[in-house]
Amino acid sequence: MTACIVGWGHTRFGRIEDMDLESLIGAAANEALADAGVAPADVDEIFLGTYNGGMDRQEFAASLVKQIDASMRFTPATRVENACATGSAAIYRGLDAIAARRARLVLVVGVEKMTAADTPQVTGALAKCAYQADEAGISFPGMFALMMQQYFQRYGDKSDALAMIAAKNHRNGSKNPLAHMQKDLGFEFCRRVSDKNPVVEGQLKRTDCSLITDGAAAVVLADVETALTMDKAVVFRAHQHVQDQLPMKGRDILKMEGPRRAWSAAYEEARLTVEDLDVVETHDCFTIAELLEYEAMGLAPEGNGARVIEEGWTEPGGKLPINVSGGLKSKGHPIGATGVSMHVMASKQLMGEAGALQINGANLAGVFNMGGMAVANFASILEPLR
């Protein structure tokens, strides 16, 4: 055991016109500290996860967390960035601080204000996550459309399975009051090209893509000794980070080697297998990503991920419910906040605080957060401390 999540906060996700970057940070941080029963003055270190990439004018943002209370003025604060896995990277830096005994209590906030920019600006900002020496000019929808094309060429057309993933996540998100899109779109809408569901790139439709979203999420981390004195605690039974090379050239992207290695290392650390997990939040930036992640986490052999969704394994009543929160697809994908949000959603399940999303008997939760084309890969396994 390393450290525990002892409190959390989470703004609504969506197009939030009445909140800027600073107010999003403050809302999530204040809620997390109140939930944990921790005074701002008792926080030993702060980590802020935000990607930005030019989407918001405030680049130097780590100290914005301190604005919530004057007692935090001189508390160490560091910004963390690792593409779409920025939130998990920030949490892991907090775990490192506690493991090194530099800190007893750590505040981690993930945030993104994406709608301050228009869609072309957002697309351009995210494209900077690609290898600029060789892949500049290719958007992320373009890259995942290529991934989809290659998968279909190798294993057959899986459009029905991808539409089922989109429909599942929107159905789940319709029950999540914090989700960006709280609407059950249904399989037929997700399966067909239409004026409201146009092609974005290649064979990717709008319903295959995650949303441009504002939002923030925060967690308070504590060492185990401190966590045992607190009202609730979710412990990291495993946390593993695998960073692959940035260029796609020289990699078989369909093998998802980084995600596969991260999950394998997490299972080894926790002394568990995928069959032991009760619920998972995984990185469905595009529906093809969730399909491939089924294979990477060990639910199906390569090329057989469609079976997982087709047989209902990942539905709330299935053998391993996945993205009960609605995932990035419905809940939204504010880049820096996503990994923190995923850990919050998993922790709520384990503490029985998930409301209409609750999976009865959830005792072991997995979280997988990915940055770039399976470049930054973070796999966590969580359980109640007691």
pLDDT tens for each residue of 323-336: 999 999 999 999 99
Instruction: Give residue 139's pLDDT.
Output: 85
Q: Write the burial class of residue 319 (CB in 10 Å: 0-12 exposed, 13-18 middle, 19+ buried).
A: middle
| Single-letter amino acid, residue 61 | A
Backbone angles phi and psi of 234, in degrees to 5: -115, 120
Q: Tokens standing for 357?
A: 């999303």
State the catalytic residue, choosing from 4, 10, 84, 285: 84
162-184 as b/e, with b when 16 or more CB fall inside 10 Å?
A: bbbbbbbbbbbbbbbebbbbbee
Instruction: Report helix, strand or coil for 130.
Output: coil
Instruction: Report helix, strand or coil for 204.
Output: strand
Q: Where are the domains of the chain?
A: 3-117+212-227
CA dihedral sign of residues 247, 249, 255, 260: negative
How far apart, in whole angstroms, are the C-alpha atoms of residue 182 and residue 370? 24
Q: Tokens standing for 363?
A: 């005792």
Indicate the pTM of the whole model.
0.97
How far apart, in whole angstroms, are the C-alpha atoms of residue 234 and residue 172? 23
Indicate if 84 belongs to the active site: yes
Contact assessment for residue 365 and residue 383, using Cβ atoms and an 8 Å cutoff: yes
Instruction: Report helix, strand or coil for 328.
Output: helix
Indicate if 333 belongs to the active site: yes
Supply the DSSP string of 134-203, one letter for each residue.
HHTT--HHHHHHHHHHHHHHHH---HHHHHHHHHHHHHHHTT-TT-S------HHHHHS-BTTB-EEETT
Residue keyed to tokens 């593409």? 83
Q: Tokens standing for 276?
A: 């032991």
Report pLDDT digits (tens) over 314-360.
999 999 999 999 999 999 999 999 999 999 999 999 999 999 999 99
Instruction: Give residue 53's pLDDT.
Output: 83
pLDDT tens, the chain, 386 aa long: 579 999 999 999 999 999 999 999 999 999 999 999 999 999 999 999 999 887 888 889 999 999 999 999 999 999 999 999 999 999 999 999 999 999 999 999 999 999 988 888 888 888 888 888 787 778 889 999 999 999 999 999 999 999 999 999 999 999 999 999 999 999 999 999 999 999 999 999 999 999 999 999 999 999 999 999 999 999 999 999 999 999 989 899 999 999 999 999 999 999 999 999 999 999 999 999 999 999 999 999 999 999 999 999 999 999 999 999 999 999 999 999 999 999 999 999 999 999 999 999 999 999 999 999 999 999 999 999 98
Contact assessment for residue 215 and residue 337, using Cβ atoms and an 8 Å cutoff: yes
| Single-letter amino acid, residue 91 | I
| CA distances in angstroms from 356 to 147, 219, 245, 365, listed in the order given | 34, 22, 40, 17
Q: Tokens standing for 209?
A: 């893509």
Tell the CATH superfamily of the 3-117+212-227 domain: Thiolase/Chalcone synthase (3.40.47.10)
How far apart, in whole angstroms, are the C-alpha atoms of residue 383 and residue 125? 36
Q: Tokens standing for 40?
A: 């701002």
Dihedral (Cα; 221, 17, 120, 204), 10-degree rounding: 70
State the catalytic residue, choosing from 180, 239, 241, 333: 333
Instruction: Report helix, strand or coil for 309.
Output: helix
Q: Tally the residues of the chain.
A: 386
